[in-house]
Structure 1
Amino acid sequence: MSNGSPDLFDSSDAADDGLHWPRVREWLKAHPESLAEDRALLEELGLKATGRNVVEFGKAALTRLEAAVERETGARQRIEAVARANFAAQTQTHVTALDLMESRNHADLARRLDAAVQARFGLVAAAVALEKPGGVPFGWRALEPGRVDQLLGEDGLHWLGP
C-alpha cells in the first residue's frame, strides 16, 4: 500500500502461514481510512460511507434480514402445505372408514374398499385377503399360508388379527 502500512495479502513473509481474521481486524482498526476510502469495495460489500469514519451497514443488514425472512416464509409455506395434505388424507381416511362400516356383507365390503381407494386416494385397486386354509368370502382374495408375513413382515405389527 502507498501509506507504508503492512500488506496483509503479501505472501513474501516466510513466517506467514496465511491470512487470519484477528490480524485483519487489528489492521482495519489501525487503518480505518483504508476501508472508508475504498468506495468500490464498500459498494461491493453493500455498504455506504456516510461521513468521515462512518460506514452505514443498514442496506447490508436489511438485505440479510430480507433473505432470512424469505427462507423462513418458504419453510412455513412448505410446512403448511404438508399439514393441509395430511389433514385432507386424514379426512378421506375417516370418510372411507365410515363408508366401509356400512357394508352389508363381505362382498359389499370388498366392493366398497376397491371403489373408495380408487375414488379417494387415486389407487388402482384394493383387496381384502385371508390366508388359507379355510373359506374366503366372495370378493376377497385367498393367500397361501405364510404370505401375510412375507408381505407385511413377521413382527405382526400390521396384522388386524389372527
Structure 2
Amino acid sequence: MSEHLVALRCETVVRTVDGAQRAYVDLPVDRTLWEARGGEFREGLRWKAQEELRHFIAKKTGVLPEREEFPGLPVWVEYPNQCTVEYVGGPADGQWMVFRQAEPPPVAQAPQPTDFTLALGGDCPPSPMDVLVYHPLPDEHGFHRRSHDGAWLYEWRP
C-alpha cells in the first residue's frame, strides 16, 4: 500500500462449509483526506467498509447477511508499514506499542518496569535489559484477536 493511502479495515468471522474463516475488506482512502476531514465523511467511509464486507461475505457464502448485523462491527485504520499492539495482563497491561511493520510480530516485548525504591534501599534493581514477553491472544475461533479500535491483542503468560 502506498504511504499516501490508509486502509479502512472491517473484519469478522464467518462460518462456511469449511468451518470458521476470517473475512475482511480493506477500503483504500487517501491519507490526507482521512486526516483532514472528520464527522460525516469518516462515518460514510466506515459504513462503506461495512457494506463491502457484507457483499464479500455474500460472495463467499452465497448468503447476504442482514444489514442490522453490521453497524456494530468495528472499522479501524490500517496505516502502511505500521501495526499497533495492546498488552493484556501482567505489568504492561493496557499499554500500547507501535511496531514499524505491516504485520503483527510473533511475540511482542515490553520493557520490564523498574522499581526505583529498590535502588534507593541499596538493593540492585532489575537490569534495564529485562523485558516482558507477550503472546498473541486468540479469539474463540483461534484467530489473533484485535481490540475494538484495531490494535492486535497480546497476553502475558507468566
TM value normalised by structure 1: 0.20
Q: Please say which structure displays the higher CA radius of gyration.
A: 1
More helix by share: 1
Task: Pick 1 or 2: higher relative contact order, CA cutoff 8 A, min separation 6.
Answer: 2
More strand by share: 2
